[in-house]
Chain A
């Protein structure tokens, strides 16, 4: 048997309790080790889709599975270990008094022994270039550092899939570049929600465009970004003067 895809979403539809339908049948397949950008205008349903990947939202039509494991109630602990979500605002993600304890939060919930927890904390902070900050309180870090620590908090769970919701938002250019260096070095399957099209091109060979709750395009990022009609139809805009064929 071949290895199952890291992430498989089949015909996913979802309406919020207030009746607002956000997803209308989404199909998405990420192979192991792939890096994929999820693009789309405000309100397209990107965050709604992301919250289905680890079972925070559920109850609509369709199926999601992570490395072959269906996302359903009895699998939730394992699903949440396999899917690491980095939320948009690091202040939401970092709730423990110190960086080290925050990175340890996930592994401790997995019931790992303390020496293993300590090793994972050290390794995850090292991976994001924040080794030596374990004892600092999160509110003393710069925004970019907090974003990197937020990435470490899910890396410490050794996820199969890393999902990032708008990782480059609010970062200064240096912070944006540093995060890119961290992310390209990670050996995981990655789904990156972003409005930052050059960032998608830099980090993700493949892009999926979501609009109105359905996938409207899926292909190599360079080709997606070169399709001016597609971009215009879905409110996607390249920065002034940016030419994807030359980048």
Chain B
């Protein structure tokens, strides 16, 4: 079936056995969210550049510890591209005092804002990429369940993880069937055919939903997904996991005190 670990959703996962991989999913989730919060809370001023550099060392250190290949990190950064475009525009369009760079007149405040935006986005995306590379989608969902995120949200995500492959497979089969009968996907007629496929996919998914519901009822289900036992996490594991955001917070605090 789906290529890689977990098909379309699990392709981010890099199977390794490291300290980072062994962290329980909910600990890793808390760590990444806390890290991102610290990064976002850091002021955007030239004097804070060392703090940002420190964060970068921390998150790259975590990536190295988890043995996430550099290529994987770079691919993770691709989601950041829209921000990059926006950030590149900022110095050009922003007002205020101007500086000359390579013959271009750029806004000083715009440059700073762009730098801050890029740094924050890059750091947060790096942390999220490390999380995705070290935790499988099913563990992530379980982690969210443990953190008591709203049950409906967790269920939707859990069904998404489970059925992404099945739906992708259905879509692939429909495309193969279409193309085997000479469909090219161009011209004004194509849109109608693709819309038809989308409609068929919706009906198939809806009917599968009904059958899954029957199967749940047959095993005594009442619409909730019973959770398994939650193994207690020792304080040391929490410390290991939270080392990343705690060090980042320490950098932030040091900067605040120094300022």
- Is B truly associated with A? yes
B-binding residues in A (CB < 8 A): 51, 54, 56, 77, 80-81, 83-85, 87, 89, 91-98, 101, 104-106, 108-110, 114, 117, 137-140, 153-154, 157
- B2 in contact with A87 (CB, 8 Å): no
Interface flag for B75 (CB, 8 Å): no
Q: Which of B135-182 contact A (CB under 8 A)?
A: 136-138, 141-142, 158-159, 161-163, 165-166
Given contacts A96-B225, A97-B158, A108-B226, contact A80 B1 (CB under 8 A): no
Return A137 CB to nearest CB of chain B, in Å.
Answer: 6
- B161 in contact with A97 (CB, 8 Å): yes
- B161 in contact with A77 (CB, 8 Å): no
Interface flag for B211 (CB, 8 Å): yes
Query: Bound state CA distance, A4 and B2, in angstroms?
Result: 48
Query: Bound state CA distance, A60 and B136, in angstroms?
Result: 47
A-binding residues in B (CB < 8 A): 1-2, 6-7, 10, 136-138, 141-142, 158-159, 161-163, 165-166, 208, 211-212, 214-222, 225-226, 228-229
- A95 in contact with B142 (CB, 8 Å): no
- The residue in A97, A104, A106, A109 that gathers the most chain B C-beta atoms within 10 A of its C-beta is A97
Query: Bound state CA distance, A109 and B226, in angstroms?
Result: 7
**Given B142, B166, B211, which contacts A87 in the complex, CB threshold below 8 Å?**
B211
Query: Which residues of the other chain, B, contact A117 by a CB distance below 8 angstroms?
Result: 228
- A87 in contact with B215 (CB, 8 Å): yes
Return B153 CB to nearest CB of chain A, in Å.
Answer: 15
A/B interface sample: 10 pairs, CB < 8 A? A80-B218, A87-B214, A89-B211, A97-B137, A104-B228, A105-B225, A109-B219, A109-B221, A139-B165, A153-B219
Query: Which residues of the other chain, B, contact A137 by a CB distance below 8 angstroms?
Result: 6, 10, 136, 138, 161-162
- A56 in contact with B226 (CB, 8 Å): no
- A97 in contact with B162 (CB, 8 Å): yes
- A92 in contact with B211 (CB, 8 Å): yes
Query: Bound state CA distance, A224 and B221, in angstroms?
Result: 38
Query: Bound state CA distance, A105 and B162, in angstroms?
Result: 15
- A80 in contact with B216 (CB, 8 Å): no
- B221 in contact with A97 (CB, 8 Å): no
- A157 in contact with B216 (CB, 8 Å): no
**Given B7, B163, B220, which contacts A109 in the complex, CB threshold below 8 Å?**
B220
Given contacts A109-B220, A139-B1, A139-B165, contact A93 B215 (CB under 8 A): yes
Query: Which residues of the other chain, A, contact B229 by a CB distance below 8 angstroms?
Result: 114
Query: Which residues of the other chain, B, contact A138 by a CB distance below 8 angstroms?
Result: 162
- The residue in B141, B158, B211, B220 that gathers the most chain A C-beta atoms within 10 A of its C-beta is B220
Return A176 CB to nearest CB of chain B, in Å.
Answer: 20
Query: Which residues of the other chain, A, contact B136 by a CB distance below 8 angstroms?
Result: 137
Query: Bound state CA distance, A106 and B216, in angstroms?
Result: 8
Query: Bound state CA distance, A30 and B215, in angstroms?
Result: 23
- Contacts beyond the supplied A83-B218, A97-B141: 6 A-B pairs with Cβ under 8 Å: A54-B218, A87-B211, A92-B215, A97-B138, A109-B219, A139-B165
- A105 in contact with B219 (CB, 8 Å): yes
**Given B1, B2, B208, B221, which contacts A105 in the complex, CB threshold below 8 Å?**
B221
Return B220 CB to nearest CB of chain A, in Å.
Answer: 4
Query: Which residues of the other chain, B, contact A139 by a CB distance below 8 angstroms?
Result: 1-2, 6-7, 162, 165-166
Query: Bound state CA distance, A93 and B217, in angstroms?
Result: 11
Return B170 CB to nearest CB of chain A, in Å.
Answer: 10
Return B219 CB to nearest CB of chain A, in Å.
Answer: 4
Q: Which residue of B lies closest to A98 (CB)?
A: B138
- B228 in contact with A109 (CB, 8 Å): no
Query: Bound state CA distance, A98 and B137, in angstroms?
Result: 11
- B212 in contact with A154 (CB, 8 Å): no
- B217 in contact with A80 (CB, 8 Å): yes
Query: Bound state CA distance, A105 and B225, in angstroms?
Result: 8
Return A171 CB to nearest CB of chain B, in Å.
Answer: 16
